[in-house]
Amino acid sequence: MLFNSPEFIIFFVFFTLIYFLLPHRWRWVWILIANIAFYMSFTSYYIILLAVIVIVNYVSAIIIDNNRGFSVTIQKTALASAVIVSLGMLFLFKYFNFFASIVASISRSFGLHYSPTVLNFILPVGISFYTFQSLAYLIEVYRGVVKAERHPGIFAVYMSFFPHILAGPIPRPQKLLPQFREEHTFNPEMAVQGLKLMMWGFFKKVVIADRLAVIVNEVFAHPRDYTGPYLIMASVFFSIQIYCDFSGYSDIAIGLARILGFRLMENFRRPYLAVSINDFWRRWHISLSSWLRDYVYIPLGGSRVSRLRWQINLLVTFLASGIWHGANWTFIVWGLLHGAYIIVGIWTKGVREWFVNTVKLDRIIPLQRAIRVVFTFILVSIAWIFFRSDTLSDAFYILTHLPTRTGELIAAIVTGKTATVREITDITKDFMILGFKKYYYRPEIIIAYVSLTVLSIVEIIQEWTGKGDLFVAIPRFPRLILYYLLTFAVLFFGLYNATQFIYFKF
């Protein structure tokens, strides 16, 4: 059941009605039943995998807790055993084939014949998310930040909570776990907040992301059929698509939980208004970036080590981020590229500050900020090319062909050479334009640009006012009008073609 499907809407309405009718002491049972039904609607027999991870982490955490102050060895053994099981499952289902192919390539380079074993598993949806959730729980129990949960049912509910199990946010146990013991009465204000977030998430997903996906999929599937202007357009559109798709999921998940009385952590904070790559990662996929900071970067020493070691720690952390996203060299390059961005930023800090002072940009703060936002977006979009491409070969082809005929097109537009403009932009194939039927292309693009304008205005207002809650900075009357327009847009302009969320495959 995808969030953007009628089946899920029916499922959630039915679940919510029963949830608030049940006595508090039985609600965990109802949530657990819903979690199992929801997860099994994707990959039914992989519920066993999730159950194994739940049981192993539940038992290991209690062993750690029971031996606090008695045996550090037993605590470390329990922690290591659970980590090995959780990461072992993740490796088996997600990375085994990739690393087997690497071993085969290395063997061939030494003249050895090695035929790698290929495991034909369907990747269990959400495995990376609930694996990291389980690791965070174990580490926090080991550190003594939280007590081990003794109620097996509540722990199972925490690990499998259906709003966020498939694509996050990745919760911290000290924030979410206690909420399952709290009695939640129906709160109309929280329900309205949740519905607003859900509507905003659906708007980003079905009106913007899925519409741009048609163009992005076409160009990235056949990059050698297109010249620079269309490669640039597809790259920028993917930057927007992945943001609207993933943040849309997070908004829906947070909204669903809020209707039920739960509060999930914020996962996005207007990342494309970031003024640096560092700032981008404070705003993008916050639950993952903070997880990597707390459980990879800081344990490695963070910035409290030598300058060289600090930069290595940064690269290792971003390498981990790339590997977490997928078993492909494209994701590894994407992660390392972000690490390289930050390291180059460290190296060039003095030069950049000198330049800003020399050209007096420090006296025009809004212009300086706008330039930094645009430059950061360009760097992020270049990295996204590797993330989206099927192979490194495709990614490098797109990067090296972005200028192809782009300058010529700009010159033709400026000089009014309409024949040249038509020749460069004529890409009609069998009555199709970039994945859309020819007579649909223009209205689809208009809807996309209007929707993007709405998204941009809302996020700029939120950034400017510092009020992150949906539309709170907008006066009441125009806010109501905007709600109705959003609902209308979702119902009449959304693409309902059962397109799953991008991050489900991670």
Which structural domain, as residue segments, surrounds residue 341? 273-390
Residues 169, 22, single domain; the answer is: yes
Tally Cβ neighbours within 10 Å of residue 182.
9
Classify residue 403: in a domain, yes or no: no
47-66 vs 24-40: helix axis angle to the nearest 10? 140
Amino acid at 15: F
Amino acid at 59: V
The whole-number pLDDT of residue 285 equals 95
Look at residue 98 and give its three-state secondary structure: helix
Distances from the Cα of 248 to the Cα of 38, 83, 301, 497, 502, angstroms: 19, 31, 34, 16, 11
What is the domain count for the chain? Answer: 3
Cis peptide preceding 169, ω within 30 of 0: yes
Classify residue 261: in a domain, yes or no: yes
User: Chain centroid to CA 315: how far?
Assistant: 20
Classify residue 117: in a domain, yes or no: yes
Domain finish residue from 129, 157, 185: 185
The whole-number pLDDT of residue 471 equals 60
Residues 143, 202, single domain; the answer is: no
Closest among 54, 494, 35 to 260, alpha carbons compared: 35
Classify residue 406: in a domain, yes or no: no
Look at residue 276 and give its three-state secondary structure: coil
Cα 159–Cα 15–Cα 206 angle in degrees, nearest 5: 85
Residues 62, 196, single domain; the answer is: no
Closest among 194, 238, 192, 244 to 216, alpha carbons compared: 238
pLDDT in tens, the chain (506 residues): 788 888 899 999 999 999 999 999 999 999 999 999 999 888 777 888 999 999 999 999 999 999 988 889 999 999 999 999 999 999 998 998 888 888 888 888 877 777 777 778 778 888 999 999 999 999 999 999 999 999 999 999 999 999 998 887 999 999 999 999 999 999 998 998 899 899 999 999 999 999 999 999 999 999 998 999 999 999 999 999 999 999 999 999 999 999 999 999 999 999 999 999 999 999 999 999 999 999 999 999 998 999 999 999 999 999 999 999 988 999 999 999 999 999 999 999 999 888 988 888 888 889 999 999 999 999 999 999 999 999 999 999 999 999 998 888 899 888 888 888 888 888 766 678 888 888 888 899 999 999 999 999 889 888 888 776 656 656 677 777 878 888 888 888 888 775 778 787 77
Work out the burial of residue 10: count CB atoms within 10 Å of its CB; fewer than 13 is exposed, 13-18 middle, 19 or more buried: exposed
Residues 151, 196, single domain; the answer is: no
Residues 11, 45, single domain; the answer is: yes
DSSP output for 457-504: HHHHHHHHHT--STTTTS-HHHHHHHHHHHHHHHHHH---S-PPPGGG
Residues 157, 34, single domain; the answer is: yes
Domain finish residue from 336, 361, 390: 390
Residues 277, 245, single domain; the answer is: no
Query: How is residue 316 written in tokens?
Result: 């290792």
Q: How far apart are CA 289 and CA 466, in angstroms?
A: 22
Active-site annotation holder among 24, 151, 222, 325: 325
Owner of token pair 């020493």 = 301
Classify residue 300: in a domain, yes or no: yes
Classify residue 421: in a domain, yes or no: no
Cα 126–Cα 128–Cα 129 angle in degrees, nearest 5: 65
Residue count of the chain, please give it.
506
Residues 81, 164, single domain; the answer is: yes
Residues 223, 325, single domain; the answer is: no
Phi, psi of 163 (to 5 degrees): -60, -35
Quick check: 210 and 497 in contact, CB under 8 A? yes
Classify residue 400: in a domain, yes or no: no
Domain finish residue from 139, 155, 185: 185
The whole-number pLDDT of residue 430 equals 67
Residues 166, 235, single domain; the answer is: no
Residues 161, 195, single domain; the answer is: no
Residues 128, 217, single domain; the answer is: no
The whole-number pLDDT of residue 472 equals 61
325 is catalytic: yes
The whole-number pLDDT of residue 502 equals 79
User: Chain centroid to CA 49: how far?
Assistant: 23
The whole-number pLDDT of residue 42 equals 80
Q: What is the pTM of this model?
A: 0.93
User: Chain centroid to CA 162: how far?
Assistant: 17
Classify residue 402: in a domain, yes or no: no
Cis peptide preceding 478, ω within 30 of 0: no
The whole-number pLDDT of residue 469 equals 65
